[in-house]
Amino acid sequence: MVVQPQRRVAARSAFTLLEVLIVVAILVVLAGVSSVYVFRYLEESRINRCKADVKTLEKAAMAYEIQYGVRPGSLQELVQPPSGKPFVEGEALMSPFGPYQYNPQGPNNNGLKPDVWVTTPDGTVTIGNWAGSAIGH
């Protein structure tokens, strides 16, 4: 009778370098794919914030006109009106893309209300309080 020696199977206590590299590569690919969606979402949220801010500034300008009988000459007058009580806070005049623009004559609104808008840095989208402005010019 031949007796074979018993082999001991060594228990692995760590991952091999190849396994770690494969996991890291998978994580990098997932991060790259998801970052595209995250940046798209961030851009959309900035545009949505601007749309809401433009409406708020328009309403504040209209309230100013009701209270004082004239439209404010600039958005700064909404922050420091003659009565001392501001219609909006100073931070509301700055959008994620830069300062909001204002025209009290409102040519884009046929003079019925003042124009309030901001343009994205690349100039492709104008977000304003008139019809079709958020589509881009």
d(CA 69, CA 37): 47
Residue 94 lies in a domain: yes
Instruction: Please give the share of the chain, as a percent, with pLDDT higher than 70.
Output: 91
Residue 97 lies in a domain: yes
Q: Which domain holds residue 55?
A: 39-135
Residue 82 lies in a domain: yes
Burial class (CB in 10 A: 0-12, 13-18, 19+), 44: exposed
Residue 27 lies in a domain: no
Residue 10 lies in a domain: no
pLDDT in tens, 99-121: 999 999 999 999 999 999 999 88
pLDDT at position 10 is: 63
CA angle 123, 129, 132 (to 5 degrees): 65
Tell me the CATH number at 130.
3.30.700.10
Residue 12 lies in a domain: no
Count how many domains the chain has: 1
Residue 74 lies in a domain: yes
pTM score of the predicted model: 0.72
d(CA 109, CA 132): 11
**Which of the 8 DSSP states describes residue 108?**
G
Residue 65 lies in a domain: yes
pLDDT in tens, 10-50: 666 788 999 999 999 999 999 999 988 888 899 899 999 99
pLDDT at position 135 is: 45
Low-confidence winner among 1-5, 16-20, 84-88 (lowest mean pLDDT): 1-5
pLDDT at position 131 is: 78
